[in-house]
Amino acid sequence: MIMETKPIEQQLSEINKKLDVLTSYMTEQQRRQREWKELQEDLTIIGKDVFQTAVTELDEVAQHFETTDLLYLIKKLLRNVRNISKMMDQVESAVDFLEDATPLSKQIFSQLLDTLTEFERKGYFDFTRESLKIVDTIVTTFTIEDIKLLRANIVGIIETFRNMTQPEVLGSVNNALHFFKELDVVVDEKITVWQLIREMSDPEMKRGLAFILRFMKNMVRTNGSVENSET
């Protein structure tokens, strides 16, 4: 079998192509080596500056710092890596919660402002200010002894107010007030004893006197029962 031989020109061309590839590869390697060397030189210079700066700075705290302290800190950090990780997770959760709660907080704050504005319009704040003035007047007017007496008699006072709020009592008080409001009696002439005795025979006068006597008797009886209950 006769082997085919390539022309010399073709072989030379292929060799030249391979040489070009090798030349390009070597050039690229040389360029990378040169860049890496320059980087090493730059890093060396920077490293020297950093080291010198670190030495200068650490010299100021050398009396407060020892290598064993650094080792202890590193060991402690390594022992608490899980705790630190949990803490970071909690911080991330808190940040997520704040991001989610911010729109809700704005809505709640807006509703609170609207409510306060409505209270201001209705006069709640003015009413509160005047109520505080009433409390201030009470505190500056009455003494501690007065407050103690009030506390001791508060039950009777409440019962009195409760009795006064009954419909029949309110009706009687209202009628009495209406009567005194409309009452306009002026006695200009001199009244003798005999005239008073004659007036006593009037049925309306008798009913009025009977009412007064009965009222006074009930008052005396009520006061007597109260005193007995206290004793």
Residue-by-residue pLDDT tens, the chain, 231 positions: 444 456 788 878 888 888 888 888 888 888 888 888 888 888 888 888 887 887 777 777 767 767 787 788 888 888 888 888 889 889 888 888 888 878 878 888 888 888 988 988 888 888 998 989 988 888 888 888 888 888 888 888 888 778 777 787 777 777 767 766 665 556 556 777 677 777 777 777 777 777 777 777 776 666 555 555 555
> Could you tell me if residue 218 is inside a domain?
no
Which residue type occupies 197? I
CA distance 56 to 205: 116
Indicate if 151 and 118 belong to the same structural domain: no
CA distance 159 to 165: 10
> Could you tell me if residue 130 is inside a domain?
yes
Angle between helices 193-200 and 203-230 (to 10 degrees): 90
> Could you tell me if residue 222 is inside a domain?
no
Q: Which contacts qualify for 118-126: CB closer than 8 Å, 24 or more apart?
A: none
- pLDDT value at position 222? 60
Range of the domain at 100: 67-141
Indicate if 52 and 78 belong to the same structural domain: no
CA distance 134 to 142: 12
Indicate if 78 and 134 belong to the same structural domain: yes
Last residue of a domain, one of 141, 163, 191: 141
CA distance 143 to 24: 108
CA distance 98 to 195: 94
Indicate if 82 and 147 belong to the same structural domain: no
Indicate if 79 and 133 belong to the same structural domain: yes
Indicate if 148 and 161 belong to the same structural domain: yes
> Could you tell me if residue 175 is inside a domain?
yes
> Could you tell me if residue 133 is inside a domain?
yes
Indicate if 111 and 61 belong to the same structural domain: no
Give one DSSP letter per residue of 70-101, joined into a string. Answer: HHHHHHHHHHTHHHHHHHHHHHHHHHHHHHHH
> Could you tell me if residue 102 is inside a domain?
yes
> Could you tell me if residue 213 is inside a domain?
no
- pLDDT value at position 3? 44
Indicate if 76 and 137 belong to the same structural domain: yes
CB 187 within 8 A of CB 193: no
> Could you tell me if residue 152 is inside a domain?
yes
Q: What is the tally of structural domains in the chain? A: 3
Burial of 6 by CB count in 10 Å (0-12 exposed, 13-18 middle, 19+ buried)? exposed
- pLDDT value at position 223? 57
Last residue of a domain, one of 93, 114, 141: 141
- pLDDT value at position 2? 41
Indicate if 83 and 132 belong to the same structural domain: yes
Q: How far is CA 27 from CA 32, 40, 214, in A?
A: 9, 20, 134
CA distance 6 to 175: 143
Indicate if 121 and 155 belong to the same structural domain: no
Indicate if 110 and 82 belong to the same structural domain: yes
Indicate if 73 and 133 belong to the same structural domain: yes
- pLDDT value at position 231? 56
